[in-house]
Amino acid sequence: MAAQIAANAQKMGKLIIYFDSESAIDPNFLERAGCDLERLMYIQASSVEFVLETIEELLGATDEQLVFIWDSLAFTPAVSDVEGDFNPQSTMAMKARILAKGMSKLVIPVADKRATLIVLNQLKTNIPQGPNARIIAMTTPYITPGGKAMHYSYSLRIWLTGRKAKSSFIEDDKGFRIGSEVKIKLEKSRFGTQGRSCAFRILWGTEDVGIRDEESWFDAVKSSEYLTSAGAWYTLSMPDGYVKKFQPSKWTELITSDDEFRSNIMQLMDEEIVRKFDRREGEAKAFYADPEDLTVPHQI
């Protein structure tokens, strides 16, 4: 998803700076996602301090609109981690302290330059200690590396979670897995939509890497009162009299080839997802995450 964000930002004329701490990014993968490598600056994230210092330096060195992608915070060490021993107690909470100071310095410069900082992180199981450990583990099952300073700095904090079910995978005509379904929850939002959730599908095993928007639209609208099912068939019945029967297996083909059908689906999504939420119509649970669905942690 970060690669697709980078590609879309480049189309808007922005310069991408990609910090890679895992040394696992593939240039071919970025190109398949639509990135122009000539307009992408790749930097190995050797330490947290180095990443923060580089961001500060680049913000002051150019007037271009920058998009920083940090992949990932969890795997980026502090300098003391690299230069020290293997005892985890010797550098306890070092990364958290560095980030607390670093983000205090960077939030305003990033905002003033109208830059964007995207930080990928991992959720890990919370294993608390003490007499209230069980209660804490139940109320806060997951935590993120790096302390809480980043939580306060983010404008948006997004949880991406995958499902274990076989039905969550996208397969080609021979049964090979080429993608998967991802559920998303806005864990924090400064734009008034905290807690909202949705699902979409990501392709990662084909020539076209990225979010499969058209299939995600079906998941978004299939609970609408205007879309009814009978066996293997769905019927779209719009208030203006438009009626269309189709099978889910033909959804992608139909949405890309039938302009009238596509237009009605876009209208339906605007009504069902945007307007009903704004007007507080229907059941709230249709818009918010089901905690039982968010069981396999991935990234933030």
Beta bridge partners of 171: 177
Q: Map out the domains of the chain as residue ranges.
A: 2-154, 216-283
Q: What is the pLDDT of residue 265?
A: 93
Question: Over the stretch 232-271, which tens digit does the pLDDT of each residue have?
Answer: 899 999 999 999 999 988 888 899 899 999 999 999 988 8
Question: Over the stretch 201-219, which tens digit does the pLDDT of each residue have?
Answer: 888 888 878 887 787 788 7
Burial (CB count <10 Å: 0-12, 13-18, 19+), residue 125: exposed
Indicate if the pLDDT at residue 295 is higher than 50. Answer: no
Cα distance between residue 126 and residue 266, in whole Å: 41
**What CATH number has the domain spanning 2-154?**
3.40.50.300
Cα distance between residue 123 and residue 281, in whole Å: 33
Q: What is the pLDDT of residue 57?
A: 96
Question: Over the stretch 49-99, which tens digit does the pLDDT of each residue have?
Answer: 999 999 999 999 999 999 999 999 999 999 998 888 888 777 778 899 999
Higher-confidence residue of 119 and 139: namely: 119
Q: What percent of the chain has pLDDT over 90?
A: 45
Indicate if the pLDDT at residue 138 is higher than 80. Answer: yes
Level-2 CATH architecture, domain 216-283: 2-Layer Sandwich (3.30)
Residue 1: closest CA among 28, 23, 30: 30
| Upper half-sphere CA count for residue 75 (Cβ side, 13 Å) | 14
Indicate if the pLDDT at residue 293 is higher than 60. Answer: no
How sure is the predictor about 31, in pLDDT bands with cuts at 50, 70 and 90?
Answer: very high
Residue 218 parent element (H or E): helix 213-221
| Upper half-sphere CA count for residue 161 (Cβ side, 13 Å) | 23
> pLDDT averaged over the chain?
87
Same fold flag, 2-154 and 216-283:
no
Indicate if the pLDDT at residue 15 is higher than 60. Answer: yes
